[in-house]
Amino acid sequence: MDERSDGATGAGQPGAFARAWARAVSGTSYLPMTQAQLEELLQRLTDRLSEALVSEPFDPRVGYQIGAELVEAHVASAEGLGRTVEVVQLRLLRDLGLVAEDVEEDRMARLLASVATGYARALRDRTLDEQESIRRAAMVARAQAERALRESEARFRHQATHDPLTGLPNRTLFTERLAAALDGPGRATDRVGVCFLDLDRFKVVNDSLGHQVGDRLLVSVADRLRLTLGGHLVARLGGDEFVVLVERTTCTDDAVKVAEAALTAVSEPALVDGHELTVSASIGIVERPVAGTSPVDLMRAADSTLHWAKAAGGARWTLFDADRNRQELERWALSAAIPGALERGEFYLDYQPLTSLRDGVVIGAEALVRWRHPEFGELRPDSFIGLAEETGLIVPLGGWVLAEACREAATWSPAGAPAPFVSVNLAVRQVHRPGLVQEVVDVLERTGLPPGRLQLEVTESAMMSAVEEPVRALGVLADLGVRIAIDDFGTGYCNLSYLRDLPVTELKVAGQFVAGLRAPADDPASRTDERILASLVSLAHALELTVTAEGVETEGQAERLRAIGCDTAQGWHFGRPGPAARLLEHPARPA
């Protein structure tokens, strides 16, 4: 094979020049092809170069194309161009077996110049293309990111405003919608209704059948509410609490109808995990003009109203009642004022004598708390004790009563008679407090009152506790010598047999039994009451308990109580509650 045929193979096999060219440019940039493919490509270009060198007329455009093709084939670096120019200049003519005279004088230079120009242009175009596609890719990526962001925002917003269990709107969304219903444009003259719904005894389902069944029941209730009340916003506020927003009501009845539909929907039996469950609900309804109300007002009112529905036995709706609400608020305000009143010394104690029916001696006195209220005047315990028990404020108040009663009783020393004991009422909450024993022991120690001169009055219900602790605590106190009386006996469980096991020293028989003794002795009902009292007294005595009759208002009652063997009496007949000084004036009133 001669030099010429070696450099320009008709069959496209790479000749010596194409191979040398390939060697020169390989490694100058990344080439997505094998060495053989590169050689093949360069052989084609070599063929066209050699043709261009000799063809008539000379056409430099061939150079541009070759430059462009090199770039297209990724021989696309300044280095690659340099090596190309070099190898063509040095070897092309020789390798093709051409002599300089065969080629017109300046053709080689012009051809190389056009290769370089084509190469540079193609490289520039490619760079522009790349920049463009990068720009376009960036745009696409940004659009995608924005869409993803919008989607995840929507998802996030849905999650933030819906309850995951039932899929209902949650408190956040409800609050937003309620605010809009009260305050939105064109709403000023609207009316609005809120139905606050809570399942009755849902806790029993949860506790007895498990939380999973409870959850499914909630889902089923939610579905039924949504289906029935679809036109109104139904939200789950948490637990078994749901709320329905009734917008643009024309009158209270609009909201009542919604509540009735909700109660019916809830009361349908639900099949959950093979259990057929029937639940009921209570609903508090508030319906009023939007003017002059706020979301907080509305929800607070709906909440109170719901509690009224519950307190009335559940399975019903109840309508908000402004008067009732005001009374409750006043009661609450009174209760909330207890701590301040304690600090300002607004409470004081009256004492009512406990008189022995045998000899008329005042053997003890019950401490009864009173409140000298700066605004409402003298308040009887009935107006604040109940609420103080509910709120727990009875603990500090009762603590004060105990300390004050012991402090005062320690100073009693009536002439010619043993000092009476002081009898202090203990609320259920106080009896159930773990620190009771210590509190009593501390007070006795501080005041110097002997334990035998303190009596604690507890109700039957305080004793009838599932936990042993209260009874144990009273047992410890009884062992110290403190007297324990059951207050208002007969109004609660009235179970004598359990008294045997309790650390009790005395029964105080409720005034209502004693009231029967006011009627003439030959009245049959009165005779029955007397017989009941008589057997109660003898049973108590068999258990070594003393009996005090409460509410003794007449000499006749006192007489009959004495006759049946009752030990002690308390009541207006023997002395109204009053300051301790009065109690001590006549310690021993002859029977």
Footprint on this chain of ligand C2E (rule: CB under 6 A) = 352, 368-369, 380-382, 385, 394, 398, 401, 425, 427, 487-488, 511, 550-553, 570-572, 577
Which partner, Ca ion, ligand C2E, none, binds residue 462 by CB below 5 to 8 Å per kind?
A: none
Residues 6+ apart with CB under 8 A from 297: none
* Residue 67 near residue 41, CB atoms below 8 Å: no
Which partner, Ca ion, ligand C2E, none, binds residue 43 by CB below 5 to 8 Å per kind?
A: none
- Comparing CB distances to ligand C2E, the nearer of 326 and 380 is 380
| Residue 581 beta carbon to Ca ion: minimum distance, rounded to whole angstroms | 21
Window contacting Ca ion (CB under 5 A); options: 60-68, 342-350, 454-462, 565-573: 454-462
| Residue 346 beta carbon to ligand C2E: minimum distance, rounded to whole angstroms | 14
* Residues forming a β-bridge with 452: none
Compute the distance between CA of residue 499 and CA of residue 199 in angstroms, rounded to an integer. Answer: 39
| Residue 366 beta carbon to Ca ion: minimum distance, rounded to whole angstroms | 6
| Residue 405 beta carbon to ligand C2E: minimum distance, rounded to whole angstroms | 8
Compute the distance between CA of residue 164 and CA of residue 170 in angstroms, rounded to an integer. Answer: 9
Q: Give me the helices (H) in 241-372, please.
A: 252-267, 295-311, 322-336, 338-344
Site membership for Ca ion, residue 457 (CB under 5 A): yes
Would you mind telling me the total number of residues written for the chain in this entry?
A: 591
User: Count of residues binding Ca ion (CB under 5 A)?
Assistant: 3
* Residue 191 near residue 251, CB atoms below 8 Å: yes
Question: Which residues, numbered 208-267, are part of the site for Ca ion (CB under 5 A)?
Answer: none
| Residue 530 beta carbon to Ca ion: minimum distance, rounded to whole angstroms | 23
| Residue 385 beta carbon to Ca ion: minimum distance, rounded to whole angstroms | 11
Site membership for Ca ion, residue 529 (CB under 5 A): no
The helix-helix angle for 78-87 and 61-72 (nearest 10°) equals: 130
| Residue 396 beta carbon to Ca ion: minimum distance, rounded to whole angstroms | 20
Window contacting Ca ion (CB under 5 A); options: 74-82, 352-360, 369-377, 422-430: 422-430
Which partner, Ca ion, ligand C2E, none, binds residue 567 by CB below 5 to 8 Å per kind?
A: none
Window contacting Ca ion (CB under 5 A); options: 101-109, 276-284, 424-432, 574-582: 424-432
Site membership for Ca ion, residue 487 (CB under 5 A): yes
Which residue's Cβ lies closest to ligand C2E? 571
- Comparing CB distances to Ca ion, the nearer of 181 and 424 is 424
Binding residue (CB under 5 A) for Ca ion from 114, 175, 425, 546 = 425
* Cβ neighbours of 487 (radius 10 Å): 23
- Comparing CB distances to Ca ion, the nearer of 206 and 425 is 425
- Comparing CB distances to ligand C2E, the nearer of 364 and 571 is 571
* Residue 243 near residue 194, CB atoms below 8 Å: yes
Q: Give me the helices (H) in 315-414, please.
A: 322-336, 338-344, 385-391, 394-409
Residues 6+ apart with CB under 8 A from 518: 526, 553, 554, 556, 557
Q: Nearest Cα to 499, choosing from 515, 485, 480, 518?
A: 485
Window contacting Ca ion (CB under 5 A); options: 78-86, 142-150, 412-420, 449-457: 449-457
Residue 259, burial from CB neighbour count under 10 angstroms (0-12, 13-18, 19+): buried
Q: Nearest Cα to 354, choosing from 588, 69, 574?
A: 574
| Residue 388 beta carbon to Ca ion: minimum distance, rounded to whole angstroms | 15
Site membership for Ca ion, residue 460 (CB under 5 A): no
Compute the distance between CA of residue 543 and CA of residue 497 in angstroms, rounded to an integer. Answer: 9
Site membership for Ca ion, residue 389 (CB under 5 A): no
DSSP annotation of 419 reads P
| Residue 519 beta carbon to Ca ion: minimum distance, rounded to whole angstroms | 25
- Comparing CB distances to ligand C2E, the nearer of 21 and 489 is 489
Compute the distance between CA of residue 278 and CA of residue 283 in angstroms, rounded to an integer. Answer: 17
Which partner, Ca ion, ligand C2E, none, binds residue 95 by CB below 5 to 8 Å per kind?
A: none
- Comparing CB distances to ligand C2E, the nearer of 382 and 544 is 382
Q: Which two tokens stand for residue 87?
A: 């190898």
* Residue 298 near residue 194, CB atoms below 8 Å: yes
Q: Which two tokens stand for residue 582?
A: 């009065």
Q: What share of the chain is helix, strand, coil (3-state, %, to 5)?
A: 55, 15, 30
Q: Which residues bind Ca ion (CB under 5 A)?
A: 425, 457, 487
